[in-house]
Amino acid sequence: MSSDTQDMSTDSDETVGVGDSQPPENAAAATEIQDMTVDIDETVGDSQPPENAAAATEIQDMTVDGDETVGGGDSQPPEKNAAAPEIPEFRLNLTPDIEHLSDTYDDPQLEFSSLVLSSLEKYLPANLLTLNRDEKVKLLSKILRKYISRDELSRKKRLRNYRAKIISNYEPRWRGLYDIHPTFYFLRDFREAIREHTEEGYRRIMSEPFPGVFVFQMFRPDVLERLIQEVDHFKDWAKESKFQIMPPNNINSHGIVLADIGMDTMLQQLVEGFIFPICRVLFNDVCIGKFNSHHGFVVEYGMDAGFDIHMDDSEVTVNVCLGEQFEGGETYFRGVRCVKHVNTETLPEEMFECPHIAGQVMLHRGRHRNGSRATTMGYRANMILWCRSSFYREQQNYDKGYFDWCGQCVKEDKDNESTFVKCYTRILDAKRKEMISLESSKPKVDETQHNT
């Protein structure tokens, strides 16, 4: 095995500001609770949480609202609605309804993340899919609340308090950055490519130096300059306020999460209006459903040692070099892999390095194994955006076979085909030799006697 892949670790950061070591399994919680019976009062069977850790993994994405106590909700008793329909006993379906389009659960005040709620909704019986959105939120939240630990509640509470303190005390330097206006944000050529929305149009402004890795210019230079200034302004405020900044994830210790300082709306606009249309053309297999979750952050690199090969917790990653003067820091790639083959050896033809150029956007699959070379001189800053689709991840849980984008799957398929051809050739050779042997063993006819 190549040394590049021996220390493979998957960087997962489904919750903004806090990194986890494993990527989310979107259907795990639903699988764990598929046999639970929901009573009329909307409690779930046995009140004890499951021993299976899969459910706990699923809930890592949840955001807690209210008084943060176990069981969730605000400390004030809920108002009773006499008109609210009673929910009969039911069981979750064993498999999701992949054709069902889930409601949107992007409200920041909801107790759980949109990723989890929209995934779990697909497991509801058909008669409950017609409930209105608020009723489904209550029902799904009641189910999920049984699968969240006190530690997770505590962690989410800290994150809520962290963000609340920033939003209530931090005064942005450039408010114009917090809402996307295309003519202000983007270059003209990029805007025209978005309007055209064709592969030819996108490739006109892009280059593909390596299969599946696209580089192009997208943002106006002054926008990126102001983004760096905004980050520096926030760091100065944090230093003066003696406020400790949470790192973006468990790999990048120097940087900030953009949603923490109130830029989540901008990121949502960026993903929905500009990144997703591009990905529907260039990575259409992961765009069977919209990107309904994202994690955007700015990381800074001084004279560092780089970081090891890993996978991003995303379907598609956007990596924007914000500039500054630096040398080194190239991103190196070591092949796209499915979950089954994440630690397999890198093939020689999969090795590639891409330098960072100020203002350049690098677009690639999240499952494209990558790392960063050391920054040998100066200072470099990058904005990284992880785009995620719960629908795609859910589908992957039921599709465990061959993936044509996985280098190892393709290699094994070719090896199997080659083995089949070799075996078939050997069989044909054996049959041919057998026919020759039989032919040679036949008694020869005397042509003279035959003619007489």
- Summarised one tens digit per residue, pLDDT across range 164-206 is 899 999 999 999 999 999 999 999 999 999 999 999 999 999 9
pLDDT of residue 62: 36
What's the length of the chain? 452
- Residue 47 forms part of a structural domain: yes
Tell me the pLDDT tens digit for each residue of 203-217: 999 999 999 999 999
Mean pLDDT, rounded, for 235-247: 93
pLDDT of residue 26: 42
Q: Taking the mean position of all CA atoms in its chain, how far away is CA 136?
A: 25
- Asked whether residue 27 carries a pLDDT value surpassing 80, the answer given is no
- Asked whether residue 366 carries a pLDDT value surpassing 90, the answer given is yes
Q: Greater confidence, 440 or 351?
A: 351
| Shared-domain flag, residues 202 and 276 | yes
* Coil, helix or strand at residue 376: strand
96 is written with which tokens? 């999701």
- Residue 303 forms part of a structural domain: yes
Mean pLDDT, rounded, for 375-385: 89
Mean pLDDT, rounded, for 51-80: 39
Q: Greater confidence, 116 or 276?
A: 276
Mean pLDDT, rounded, for 240-267: 89
Look at residues 327, 316, 331 and name the one whose alpha carbon lies nearest to residue 392: 316
- Residue 362 forms part of a structural domain: yes
| Shared-domain flag, residues 194 and 341 | yes
pLDDT bracket for residue 443 (50, 70, 90): low
- Asked whether residue 70 carries a pLDDT value surpassing 60, the answer given is no
23 is written with which tokens? 């990527």
| Shared-domain flag, residues 262 and 227 | yes
| Shared-domain flag, residues 142 and 194 | no
pLDDT bracket for residue 451 (50, 70, 90): low
- Asked whether residue 52 carries a pLDDT value surpassing 80, the answer given is no
pLDDT bracket for residue 370 (50, 70, 90): very high
| 92 in Cβ contact with 124 (< 8 Å) | yes
pLDDT bracket for residue 30 (50, 70, 90): very low
Mean of per-residue pLDDT scores for the chain? 77
| Shared-domain flag, residues 9 and 127 | yes
205 is written with which tokens? 């402004």
- Residue 140 forms part of a structural domain: yes
pLDDT bracket for residue 92 (50, 70, 90): confident
pLDDT bracket for residue 31 (50, 70, 90): very low
234 is written with which tokens? 């926030």
pLDDT of residue 60: 38
Look at residues 186, 191, 180 and name the one whose alpha carbon lies nearest to residue 220: 186
Q: Greater confidence, 169 or 153?
A: 169
- Asked whether residue 444 carries a pLDDT value surpassing 70, the answer given is no
- Asked whether residue 367 carries a pLDDT value surpassing 80, the answer given is yes
Domain that holds residue 139: 3-152
Domain closes at, from 123, 152, 181: 152
Among 185-199, 252-266, 385-399, which stretch is predicted with the lowest mean pLDDT? Answer: 385-399
206 is written with which tokens? 């892009």
Query: Which percentage of the chain shows pLDDT scores above 90?
Result: 39
Residue 232: its H or E element = helix 221-240
| Shared-domain flag, residues 235 and 145 | no
Distance CA 42, CA 58 (A): 20
- Asked whether residue 120 carries a pLDDT value surpassing 70, the answer given is yes
**What total number of domains does the chain contain?**
2
Mean pLDDT, rounded, for 321-338: 88
- Residue 200 forms part of a structural domain: yes
* Sequence letter at residue 415: D
| Shared-domain flag, residues 307 and 389 | yes
pLDDT of residue 11: 43
| Shared-domain flag, residues 66 and 190 | no
Among 230-234, 280-284, 294-298, 337-341, which stretch is predicted with the lowest mean pLDDT? Answer: 337-341
Domain closes at, from 396, 417, 438: 396
Torsion angle of alpha carbons 380, 211, 209, 222, nearest 10°? -40
pLDDT of residue 33: 37
pLDDT of residue 420: 53
| 60 in Cβ contact with 14 (< 8 Å) | yes
